[in-house]
Structures are given as C-alpha cells and as structure tokens.
Chain A
C-alpha cells in the first residue's frame, strides 16, 4: 500500500486485494476538513459513502470486471454469483493485483475552495455502455439488487466528473466555509 498525505492533499494506491481486505478506504483529508469545521458531520457521511461507492465500482467493475447482472443470480444458501466470482478473481493475480488509486486535494477558488477526490482503476471504464436513468419506484416483480451506486454518489456531492471512459471518476464538493 502506498500512501502519501500532507497539507491539503492525500494519495493512496492499493491493490484490489488490499481494497477488499480493508472493506473501507478512508481519505484522511475528509477527516481533516471535518476537524477544521470546513465540513459538517452530514456532508462527511455523504462524502464517505460517495468515496466508498467510487472505490467499490473501481474494484468490482473496473479491476475485477464483474457484471452487475450476476447479483441477480442466486446460488445455494442465498449467495449470488457476483460474490462467488468476486472471491475467485480476488485470488487470481491477474485481477487481484490491479490497483485502485485515490487522490484527494483542495482547489482554491474565488468563492471558496473545492474538494476533489479522484478514484482511478485499471479497467476499461463503463461510460460506453451506461445510460443515465432517473430513479423510479422499483417494480416489486422485477426489482434489481444492483445499479444504485452512481445515484448515491451523485446525491452525495456537487458534481461527478469522468475521464478514461469512467475508469477515473472525480467527486467534486464545494466548500462554502473554506478560508484557504
């Protein structure tokens, strides 16, 4: 695990296996901004959820190339195909050693600062096969177990930016009380 932090900047690089073992990836800069009163408790929770969603996507769909549809295929003991293939791919060095990189920094602006958290994976990205759809009341007959990560991310920050066909996503949060 490579980590670097200081001032208004933090960066870490983890293998897929390390991300899976940790369960959660923390961004020290978020806690630092909470401590300084720049972020409130509610914004902090939302940001942490957004980071987790981005990191999960990077791990599962980017590096491990898992298909969301596998979450709907139930095997024995109520386990889904997605979880079974996830375990197998984490054990395979081809997938398990691919990295997830998380970089966070504050950009000074005219009207306060902006917190930027960039999450990158080694996958092919997803934008080419993704269609944005409004959240709708799920049909009880056909409700899907997956497909809510981006909606949760978008709801937690001011903007989402994509590069490399979505293999790099940047979470953008304006800091109204940032004094530089």
Chain B
C-alpha cells in the first residue's frame, strides 16, 4: 500500500487513499509522511477524503506525524473532513488540534 504525495507551493500533501485502520495503512502513512518531511516541507496537509474509516491505530499514526511536525516547528493540517472520520475527530477533540486547510476546499 502506498499513499501519493504532492508538493504544491509551500505545502506538502499526502493523499490517504484507504481506510486508516490497519497496520498496513498506518505504515503507508508513516512512509508518505517521511517522504514529504525529509524533503523539508514544514506545512503538511493530510487529505483524508479517501478514508471512510479511521480507528485508534490510524489516529495514533496521525498524532505521531503531528508530534514530529510540532517538534520541527511545522504545522500538520487536514483537508475538510466528512462522515465517520469527521465524527471521530470531533469525538476525540482532534479537530481542535489539527487546523483545516481551507485552500484544499477551493481547489
């Protein structure tokens, strides 16, 4: 499993194209994040529109990315969320932690 990454201006994007609920998808996120982070991007946007489900494993991997970004004085953002993923972020109050990249909505 592999997630596509893209650099658009100052931002690095990770297109999560599967549910974030297994070891395999968590590992794909870690690899995609490493790829963008090591290219020096310090604003990274997770596009979770391809995920219908996220569980505590996926949340843990997202927060690991968040902590690495924060330690490097960077910002981890998400594209506007929907459905169960949005509900889960709100339940766990992660929507207060990860800002939404509104520009992604306008593309």
**A29 shortest CB reach to chain B, Å:** 19
* Contact yes or no, A145 B88, CB < 8 A: no
B92 contact set on A, CB distance < 8 A = 135, 148, 151-152
**A149 shortest CB reach to chain B, Å:** 4
* Given known A-B contacts A49-B55, A135-B92, A152-B56, A23 and B64 have beta carbons under 8 A apart: no
Count: A-B pairs, CB below 8 Å: 79
* Given known A-B contacts A135-B92, A152-B88, A56 and B57 have beta carbons under 8 A apart: yes
A133 at the binding interface (Cβ < 8 Å) = no
* Given known A-B contacts A20-B23, A78-B34, A53 and B56 have beta carbons under 8 A apart: yes
Partner of A145, one of B23, B24, B60, B70: B60
B3 contact set on A, CB distance < 8 A = none
Q: How many residues of B contact A (CB 8 A)?
A: 30
Q: How many residues of A contact B (CB 8 A)?
A: 32
Task: Give the 9 A-B CB pairs with smallest separation, nearest first.
Answer: A23-B22, A149-B56, A145-B60, A148-B56, A145-B63, A137-B93, A145-B64, A137-B96, A49-B55
Encoded as 1 (CB less than 8 Å from any A CB) or 0, chain B from 44 to 69 comes to 00000000110111011101101110
**A153 shortest CB reach to chain B, Å:** 9
